[in-house]
Amino acid sequence: MYRLRQWFWSLAARREPPLESLPPAEQVGRILRDASRERPTHYVLTQAVRRLSALGEPAVDPLIMAALNHRSRFAQQVAAEALGAIGDRRAVVPLIELLKIESFEVAASAARALGQIGDPRAREALEFAAQFGTDRVSLAAREALLNVPRKDG
């Protein structure tokens, strides 16, 4: 069954235009779609984040939308990680919202991304997640707090 699915997607991929020819929003959508089709492994996550973060600033708005609204938790996780790698401060408020998601993978990715961005607006939410989150979310939030300055200085 898995091989049949792979064969089908390889046929479908042949009919699509090259990724680089698409606008950033469509590139984001295709990368997330393709990553969600794979089995969620660390390698798939890393490759998708690398490809998305290479798009840079034009991908921030589509990534924010994907992080908040995508039906796949894995795609949300990938989007959050990519937002952290890009480091755009527009993602801070949406990433704080992702800290509230029940999926620990998504919340931990959001915490790591907030740590990478290092915006003081995230400090309060990260402190809360560090104290009351699940083990993995709490650990990610504590590590992120090391890179987030206090608002007063």
Q: pLDDT tens digits for 100-152?
A: 988 999 999 999 999 999 999 999 999 999 999 999 999 999 999 999 998 76
Structural domains of the chain, count:
1
Say if CB 31 and CB 48 are below 8 A apart.
Answer: yes
With 60 as the cut, is the pLDDT of residue 92 above it? Answer: yes
With 60 as the cut, is the pLDDT of residue 68 above it? Answer: yes
120 domain residue, yes or no? yes
Say if CB 95 and CB 83 are below 8 A apart.
Answer: yes
Q: In whole angstroms, give the CA distance from residue 133 to residue 34.
A: 30
Higher per-residue pLDDT: 31 or 110: 110
70 domain residue, yes or no? yes
With 60 as the cut, is the pLDDT of residue 82 above it? Answer: yes
Residue 86, domain extent: 27-145
With 80 as the cut, is the pLDDT of residue 15 above it? Answer: no
22 domain residue, yes or no? no
The residue type found at 3 is R
CATH number of the domain within which 81 lies: 1.25.10.10
- Quote the pLDDT of residue 8: 63
Distance of alpha carbon 137 from the chain centroid: 15
62 domain residue, yes or no? yes
56 domain residue, yes or no? yes
91 domain residue, yes or no? yes
Distance of alpha carbon 85 from the chain centroid: 9
146, exposed or middle or buried, with CB in 10 Å at 0-12, 13-18, 19+? exposed
Mutual angle of helices 42-55 and 24-37, in 10-degree steps: 180
The dihedral through the CA atoms of 106, 112, 118, 123 has a sign that is: positive
- Quote the pLDDT of residue 130: 96
With 90 as the cut, is the pLDDT of residue 49 above it? Answer: yes
4 domain residue, yes or no? no
- Quote the pLDDT of residue 37: 82
47 domain residue, yes or no? yes
pTM of the model: 0.84
